[in-house]
Structure 1
Amino acid sequence: MASRGTAPSLTQRTFERLRADIVGGRLVPGERLRPGGIASAEEVSLNVVREALNRLAGARLVRASPQLGFTVATTSVDDLRDLTDVRSLVEGEALRRSIERGDLTWEGELVAAHHRLERTPMVSADRPDVLDEAWMDVHVAFHAATMSACGSPRMIEMVADLQECASLYRRWSVRVDGGRRDVAGEHRAIFEAAVARDADAACRAHLDHIGRTADLAAAAITGDPSAIPGS
C-alpha cells in the first residue's frame, strides 16, 4: 500500500531517512542511489524521491550527474580542509555577531540547547565508533543556537548548509578518536565563553573544536592515525 500524506511531508520524510542513512554510513560515499528502488522501498512516487535527492544534492550529501544519476557524495581530505576553512570564516563571524547582539532570550535558548547536548549520549556502549543520531541532531542544534542571534538570515542559512556538509565528515572523526578528545569539554568552553559574552574566547574555542574534528576525520579517511596532532 502506498504511503499516505501530502507530497511535501512525504518528501521531507524521504529526505530525512536518506540523510540519516548517508550520515550514519549505511549508504557509503560513491554508492549509486537508484530512484526507482528507493521509491519502491519507501512506498512513495518517483517525483517525491527525486525531490528528496535534489535537496540532498543541494546540501552536498549527494552528487547528481547526467551519466551516473545520483550517488552519495565522496569524501576527500582536500574537500574537508576547504570546508573547514570556509566554516572558520563564516561560523566564526556568525558566532561573534551573535554574542555581541544576543539578548536574554537568545541566552536562555543557548542554555537549553547546551543542556540537551550534555544530557544526550554521543555514542552507545555497544557502538562506541558510531555517533548517535539523536546526539548529532542536538549537536547541530547547539551550534546553531550559538550563532542564531547574528542578525543575518543569509548567514544563518549558510551556517546550516555548512553544518550539513560537515555531517558527512563528522562521523569519520569518532573512528580514530580513541578517547583522546573531551568533546563535551570543547562544547562547554564554547558555551561558557558565549554566555560570558567573550566573543574572542568563544571563537577560539569554536575554531579549535572544528579543527580537531577535521584532523581526526582526515586521519580516518587516509588511514594514518599518526597524522593526528598529539598522537
Structure 2
Amino acid sequence: MSKVKGAGSRADTVTAAIRADILAGRLIPGQRLTFPELGAAHAVSVGVLREALARLVEQGIVTTVSNQGFSVIALSARDFAELTQVRTLIEPQFIRVSVLAGSTRWESEVVAAHHVLQRTPYFAEDGTAFSPAWNTAHTDFHMTLLAGCSNVYMHDGTARLRDVSALYRRWSPIRSPADEALARITTEHRDLMDAALAHDADRAETLLREHIQRAADEIVIAREFPEPSAAAQG
C-alpha cells in the first residue's frame, strides 16, 4: 500500500510541475515531451511520468502523438475559435447555476478569492503581463465563482477549458496597452463579484460571457505563437 501511495504522490507532484512549466511557457506549444529528459528533470521513473502525462492529456494541455509519445498541445486560430465558442456557451450557464445556488460560505469565498486576485501582482518580474502568481489567482477567482454549483462534471470540464485558454494567453501579446488592459480586467472582475454576491444570475451570466469574449479578442492568433526548435522537439 505504501508503494502505491508513494507512486501516486510522486505522480501528483510531477503532474503539477509539468503543468506549471507548460502554463509558464518553459515548455512550448508543440514541444515533444520525452521520458529521458523529463526523467532527468524530475528524477522519477517512466511509469510515474507516463501517469503524469496521461493526466495532463485529460486536462487538455498535453496530447499524444502517433509513434512519437507525448507533446505539449499545438496552438491554432481554429482551435482557439472553437475553444472560445464552447467557453461562451458553457461557463455563463455554469455561473448562473452557481449564483442561484451559492451559500453564504460561498459568498465569503468569492470575496476572499477576489481580494487575493486584487493583491497579486499582474506584471511578472520582467515587466510582462500575466505573472504566474496572477494567473493562479485569476484561475482561483473564476473557479470560486463557479463553486456555488456542486456539479463535478461542470467543474472538471471548465477547469480543462480554462487551462487551455491560459496557454493561449501565455503565448499571445495583448492588443491594448498593459495598464489599460489591467484596468478593464480589474473592473470586470469586480463587477462579476458584485453580481455573484447579489445573486443576480442574469447579470452574472451576461458579464461572464462578455468577459470571456473580450479576453479572447485580446489574443493574437497563429503566427504569433512560437515554433518549437529542433532541439526542443528532441
TM-score (norm 2): 0.86
| Equivalent residue number for residue 100 of structure 2 | 100
**CA distance in 1: counterparts of 2:37 and 2:44, whole angstroms:** 10
Kindly report which structure 2 residues correspond to 1:1-231, keeping only aligned pairs within 5 A, or say none. Answer: 6-129=6-129, 131-179=130-178, 180-181=180-181, 182-217=184-219, 219-223=220-224
Divergent runs of 4+, >4 A: none
How far apart are residue 66 of structure 1 and its match?
2.6
C-alpha contact 1:101 1:150 (8 A) present in aligned 2: yes
Measured against aligned partners, the alpha-carbon deviations of 1:101-152 in whole angstroms (never above 9, x if no partner) come to 11111111111111111111122252324x2112111111111111111232
Contact in 1 for aligned 2:77/2:221 (Cα 8 Å): no
Contact 1:193 1:199 survives alignment (8 Å): yes
TM-score, normalising length from structure 1? 0.87
How far apart are 1:10 and its partner, in Å?
1.2
Q: Give SS of 1:63's match.
A: strand
CA contact (8 A) 2:76 2:221 kept: no
Residue 173 of structure 1: how far off its partner (Å)? 4.5
- Check 1:110–1:61 CA distance in 2 against 1; reply closer, same or farther (3 A cut): same
Unaligned runs of 5+ in 2: 225-234
Deviation at 1:59, TM superposition (A): 1.2
Aligned to 1:228: none
Which segments of 5 or more consecutive residues in structure 1 lack a partner in the other structure? 224-231
Contact 1:172–1:221 (Cα < 8 Å) also in 2: no
1:227 maps to: none
SS at match of 1:50: helix
* Post-superposition CA distance 1:48-67 (Å, at most 9, x none): 11111111111111111232
What SS does structure 2 have at the residue aligned with 1:75? coil
Q: Which amino acid aligns with 1:134?
A: A
Q: CA RMSD in A?
A: 1.7
SS of corresponding position for 1:6: helix
Q: 1:174 to 1:114 in 2, by over 3 A?
A: farther
Amino acid at match of 1:163: R
| 1:174-221 C-alpha deviation (Å, 9 max, x unpaired) | 54442342211111111111111221221222111111221122x254
1:229 alignment counterpart: none
- CA–CA distance in 1 between the matches of 2:174 and 2:25? 12
The letter for the 2-side match of 1:43 is A
- Distance in 2 between the 1:80 and 1:90 partners? 15
